[in-house]
Amino acid sequence: MIVRSLVRALLASAALGAGVLLAGCNSDEISLASNAKANQPVPPKLVAAMTEKDMDPQSPILVRLFKQEAELEVWKQARSGRFELLKTYPICRWSGDLGPKVREGDRQAPEGFYSISPGQMNPQSAYYLSFNTGYPNAYDQSLGRTGSQLMVHGDCSSRGCYAMTDEQIAEIYSLGRESFFGGQKAFQLQAYPFRMTPVNMAKHRNNPNMPFWKMIKEGYDHFEITRQEPKVDFCEKKYVFDAARPPNATRDPVFQASAKCPAYVVPDEITEAMRQRQQEEQTEYAKLVAKGTPVARLNSGIDGGMNQIFASHVPNGSTGLSEGGDGQGLSLVAMSRAPGTIPPTVNPPRAPYAPTEEPAVAAAPSQPAAAPATRVASATPATQQSEGGFFSGLARKMGIGATADTTTTAATTPAPAPAKPKAESKPSLAKLITGKPAESKAAESKQAAARPPFKPSITDNPAPAAEAAAPAPKDTKVAGSAPIVSANSFESRFSAAK
């Protein structure tokens, strides 16, 4: 038993130490060492779920990300050879807009297909744990797209990354680590703007990214059909999925992202299944467009999104570009515990409406709250006057008129709410992002080192501290309450952001 533990520790050091020069978003260079965070065991409830789904604990995994839904899925290969969904994690924060990353500093979280090797796993990330998405891949490079250090990490703060809570990334990291111990050389990461359904394709039909989305949807469909990791190649500056050697060829085709595509075929069973799927979805898409499915707004100016379970626990929380609305429906979700610790520095996206374009919608959060207060305040004096004309005169003759006036004044005084408009004013997103100069790298390292090195599993302990750190706002103040975080706190965590 001791020998097995020693061998396992050596394997961990070799696998995790392979990424010596990789780092999390704005983290320092990692060292050749494994630590308690990186070696946390897979939680017992996840192990039980694997047993129930007939999965080996060290079988291959595959990860899918969806911006609009703000969800991360971990799929795992069952003993049947097919991938089955193991667990879905709500994403705490992603930044940018729907669409692929194009250039350094555009705040975009990448979209596309990426390969995660052991060398991309970072046990020493300043954001608890992380792994590098591998952006830019060969397709991105063929288009001249730039950017680096785009991660999936903890700390619930993003500037081009997909951010989870520390407890969530600890689980995801452990699943990836075990798959490497089981022999998987790299696991596939598929990042999408939304679930590639006919409804979502119809909603975003006028988006300029639609040609790109249709291209990566082929890989999405291949996985949905086969439940196998699709083979990804690039040629003529496009994605190619599950390409195989032609029947009369003597060797496998060689692909280069910027070169002409070689001769290849896609297996007949996949081709036929794709034809049927595309035909069915095209029919449904046409019906949705014909009946006038609303088109999603372009250029919303909102920076990214957040799953509603997290938005419900953050002051002034909003789901942004993710599904869930502007916060008015978050009070019910707030009754559930957040899956992990939400740091006090989290910067939620702005509410998804634009006052200049849709004044009726923009006014909705404040008007309903103000109107009832006005009606109640005016109704009480009116009732007193209509019913108290005779009695008020009698009271004055008896010398108690002053008391009556005082009572009326006291009843009407609480009605105005002068502080309400101030509480509902929206903070400036630009001020939150660029308020003050960033801290030095040494200060950031000191800040990261000060955080606790170990977080409990979210499967076994739902992290009640999340609610204490960020109490759920009341229903009437979710959409407009003032932030409790200083304007420079978000920028300081991303001093060298890409």
The angle at the Cα of 311, spanning 309 to 317, to the nearest 5 degrees, equals: 160
Q: Would you call 161 a catalytic residue per the annotation?
A: yes
Look at the chain and count its residues.
498
Tokens of 200: 């979502």
Which letter does DSSP use for residue 265 in this model?
Answer: B
> Of 218, 190, 195, which is closest to residue 278 (Cα–Cα)?
218
User: CB within 8 A of 8, min separation 6: which ones?
Assistant: 181
Tokens of 214: 């249709």
Using CA atoms, how far apart are residues 387 and 463, in angstroms rounded to an integer?
56
Helix or strand holding residue 365 (H, E): none
Q: Would you call 261 a catalytic residue per the annotation?
A: no
Give φ, ψ of 192 to 5 degrees. -125, 155
Q: Tokens 């001093």 correspond to what residue? A: 495
Tokens of 22: 């990789």
- Of residues 25, 92, 153, 204, which has the active-site annotation? 153
Amino acid at 225: I
CB 308 within 8 A of CB 321: no
The CA-to-CA distance between both ends of the chain, in Å, stands at: 46
- Of residues 25, 92, 156, 161, which has the active-site annotation? 161
CB 172 within 8 A of CB 153: no
Mind telling me the catalytic residues?
Answer: 153, 161
